[in-house]
Amino acid sequence: MIFLASQSPRRRELLSRIGVSFDILNVDVPEQRLPGEPALDYVSRVAREKADAGLLLVAERPRAWVIGADTEVVLDDVVFGKPADAADAAQMLRRLSGRAHQVISVVWLLGAGHEARAVCDTTVQFASLSSAQIADYVATGECFGKAGGYAIQGRAAAFVSHLSGSHSGVMGLPLYETAQLLRGAGCSR
């Protein structure tokens, strides 16, 4: 049985897209970068902690597999988490405007005696955004609960002038990499 250790509706939707049958595990893992921690190490640690917390919940189940994932927006070694409020979201979007940034997604797959990790690093180029565009976008509320203050699957798709990497990775779960992990563990065809 496959379990997704995530409260994200986007990750649920994405995993369903590739035909994986799974159950949800609600885990609560602090997402706080340690001083001096490289961005990739931070994203990987949080994803691993989610998978570990999920595995603890289903440890008594034979052949349980747990997927843990995390996705963050990174610009100039600053990790842009989820905005605290509208002003924070607007500030993030102003900083991303007209620039290329990284979106790092890490997926861990854990099972009895097995662990595997996949890393997806995508470069997203934003067009230059006017103050009105930013204010209008923030007013939609779509920015909340999203790393970097934007949802590429929503209205913010109009901000992306170029993408090099995984669209699903920017949404929160890189599907190619996740499918490879599952296939490598014998969880899917």
Could you tell me which CATH number the domain at 2-184 has?
A: 3.90.950.10
Q: How many CA atoms lie within 13 A of 77 on its CB side?
A: 4
Active-site positions?
A: 70
According to the model, what pLDDT value does residue 189 have?
A: 65
The token pair that represents 95 in the structure block: 């900083």
Task: Report percent pLDDT > 90 for the chain.
Answer: 93
Question: What are the residue ranges spanned by the domains of the chain?
Answer: 2-184
Smallest CA-to-CA distance from 171 within 98, 93, 76, 105 is with 105
Contact 117, 108 (CB under 8 A): yes
Q: Confirm if 177 and 107 have CB atoms less than 8 A apart.
A: yes
At 162-175, the pLDDT tens digits run 999 999 999 999 99
Which one, of 108, 103, 122, lies nearest residue 29 by Cα? 108
* pLDDT tens per residue, range 39-56: 999 999 999 999 999 999
